[in-house]
Amino acid sequence: MTLDFFREELAETAAALAAPGTGLLAADESTGTIGKRFEAIGVDNSEENRRAFRTLLATTPGLAEHISGVILYEETLFQDSTVTAGAGPSPLVDLFRDQGIRVGIKVDLGVEALAGALPGETWCTGLKGLAERAERYYARGARFAKWRAVLRISSDGCPSELSVRENAWGLARYARTCQEQGLVPIVEPEILMDGDHDIATTAAVQEWVLRTVYGALAVNGVFLEGSLLKPSMTTAGADCPERSSAGQVGEFTLRTLARTVPAAVPAILFLSGGLAEEDASICLNEINRAAHQAGAPWHLGFSFGRALQHSCLQGWAGSDLVAGQQALLARARANGEASLGTYQPGSQPSSDASLFVANYSY
Ligand code: 13P
């Protein structure tokens, strides 16, 4: 297909994912990563347990009020749920869609060491065969996609120019390829929180990265109205002695985005990146407060993985459906309100466990 064939549909999908008061549930953990989550709650990483947990997510009553889309891993996209209706088990995709939640798919195949760059720097793989995979995902009901490129900041020169250029270019090629198959690309240049750099350093690096990303998207002819950005919030490194306040995160993040992201992009949906549940909500709330004052053009929402599912996993612990769903709904509500700038800190239950994992992989 061509991008022109899908242009209207892409814009419509992106606009739906940018609905006020909503965000995305990033439930696309690879089998290895969900295994680590399950291990922490004493649950076996079997296909049955992954099916059960993802059925819990898909059947949470009222989830669509705050969740406009869900990002799935390939296994889940093609997996049946534990719910039986009529002839047999309902596909998980159908349960989400029946609620009015759009389905997305992680399409990158993970990162690898980047030859010629600094130690620890990576490039994101998955371009070969992507058009064919995207076509299959569309046929199964997916309407948007995610590709997570990872950059790091270090005192010995990361990110290198090579890493910034390579990751921006990969994102742009992925985005164009997905659009030609009808999938709205989430462009995710994650800057890891690892390191002791201050917030001003993060802001400077993120401006450089985002400028490069939007330059590459332009060269590849990506249709911005049919795309979404998923950045990290602009915050100090996890080991920085000066912690950033939520107010600082709000101001720096908005400044960074205002300097770099075209107004044609409908929504900016942040990753939580290792922030604790409540911290992520409060920072998102502050970003929106700053955005309202400045009259920012985009919907500023969330696409959280850890910060939406941590309490949910703890509550479920392999068997308690209701506790898991209540916890998920509480964080979805908190973040939905935060994306309007109306969240009252502490008004929804949360865990204050640190969700930071050094050198995180998804
Ligand atoms: P976190 O919110 O856990 O950082 O994950 C979001 C995500 O999808 C990263 O690609």
Give pLDDT tens digits for 70-123.
999 999 999 999 999 888 999 999 999 999 999 999 999 999 999 999 999 999
Rounded Cα–Cα distance for residues 313 and 255 (Å): 35
Q: Of ligand 1's atoms, which has the minimum distance to the CA of residue 302?
A: 2
Q: Which of 113, 110, 145 minimizes the C-alpha distance to 125?
A: 110
In sequence order, the β-bridge partners of residue 84 are: 89
Domain boundaries, the chain: 3-338
The tokens of 362 are what? 């998804």
Query: Distance of CA 242 to CAs 235, 247, 254, 312, Å?
Result: 11, 14, 20, 31
Task: State the Rg of the chain over Cα.
Answer: 19
**Mean residue pLDDT across the chain:** 97
Tell which wins on pLDDT, 351 or 341. Answer: 341
Task: Tell me, in angstroms, the distance from the centre of ligand 1 to residue 360's CA.
Answer: 9
pLDDT at 152 over 80: yes
Task: Tell me, in angstroms, the distance from the centre of ligand 1 to residue 322's CA.
Answer: 24
Rounded Cα–Cα distance for residues 353 and 324 (Å): 16
Q: Give me the active site residues, please.
A: 188, 230
User: What is the assigned CATH class of domain 3-338?
Assistant: alpha beta
CB-based pocket (< 6 A), ligand 1: 26, 148, 188, 271-273, 303-307, 362
| Ligand 1, atom 9, residue with closest C-alpha | 271
Rounded Cα–Cα distance for residues 345 and 259 (Å): 29
Q: What is the mean pLDDT of residues 210-216?
A: 98
pLDDT at 361 over 90: no
Q: How many CB atoms lie under 10 A from the CB of residue 177?
A: 23
Query: Distance of CA 96 to CAs 54, 57, 76, 93, 303, Å?
Result: 10, 9, 11, 5, 16
Give me the percent of the chain exceeding a pLDDT of 70.
Answer: 100
pTM confidence score: 0.97
Task: Tell me, in angstroms, the distance from the centre of ligand 1 to residue 62's CA.
Answer: 22
- Per DSSP, the three-state class of 135 is helix
* Confidence band for 360, pLDDT divided at 50, 70 and 90: confident
Rounded Cα–Cα distance for residues 55 and 333 (Å): 20
- Neighbouring residues of 297: CB distance < 8 A, sequence distance ≥ 6: 263
